[in-house]
């Protein structure tokens, strides 16, 4: 799995428009916290179970991608869920998987706030919110 900083991930999307950009956060997170434009929401886990189902996740990504050879780029809140989700995709046979290091909101700062140290939003990349 490739580990791309947010600006590197944005560059890949621009250079490889066939990349399937997947937000693995719960749908409510993606809608209300914000998300990059054009991202497809395929949650790694969902409320109320909050338990990943790697096989179902990989099947959902494959349906959306149309092929396991299509480049896949994953994003979550902080870059942690995407590691497990990416490993599940690679185990399922996906050939080109990458994730956004630091995710959409980035790491917590000393005041327990996000988007102040790193991440997609911190880097000023395009995003939208409901």
Instruction: Using DSSP bridges, classify how beta strands 97-100 and 72-75 pair: parallel, antiparallel or unpaired.
Output: parallel
Q: What are the boundaries of each domain within the chain?
A: 2-100
Q: What is the DSSP letter of 126?
A: -
What is d(CA 29, CA 55) in angstroms, rounded to the nearest whole number? 22
What is d(CA 8, CA 102) in angstroms, rounded to the nearest whole number? 12
What is d(CA 51, CA 77) in angstroms, rounded to the nearest whole number? 17
Query: What's the pLDDT at 36?
Result: 97
2-100 falls under which CATH superfamily? Rhodanese-like domain (3.40.250.10)
Q: List pLDDT tens digits, range 53-105.
A: 999 999 999 999 999 999 999 999 999 999 999 999 999 999 999 999 999 99
Q: Which long-range contacts (CB under 8 A, 24 or more apart) does 116-119 make?
A: 118/6, 119/6, 119/78
Q: DSSP per residue over 26-49, as a string?
A: -HHHHHHH-B-TT-EE--SS-TTT
Query: What's the pLDDT at 130?
Result: 82
Query: What's the pLDDT at 62?
Result: 98
Q: What are phi and psi of 89, to 5 degrees?
A: -65, -45
Q: List pLDDT tens digits, range 15-65.
A: 999 999 999 999 999 999 999 999 999 999 998 889 999 999 999 999 999
Residues 6+ apart with CB under 8 A from 86: 1, 72, 74, 97, 98, 99
């Amino acid at each position: 799995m490739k580990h791309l900083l947010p600006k590197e991930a944005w560059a890949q999307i621009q250079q490889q428009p066939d990349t399937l950009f997947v937000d693995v956060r719960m749908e409510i997170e993606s809608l209300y916290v914000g998300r990059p434009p054009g991202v497809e929401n395929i949650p790694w886990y969902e409320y109320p179970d909050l338990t990943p189902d790697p096989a179902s996740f990989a099947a959902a990504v494959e349906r959306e991608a149309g092929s396991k050879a299509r480049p896949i780029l994953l994003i979550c809140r902080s870059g942690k869920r995407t590691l497990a989700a990416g490993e599940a995709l690679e185990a399922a046979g996906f050939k080109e998987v990458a994730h956004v290091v630091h995710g959409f909101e980035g790491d917590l700062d000393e005041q327990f706030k996000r988007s102040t140290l790193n991440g997609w939003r911190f880097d000023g990349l395009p995003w939208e919110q409901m």
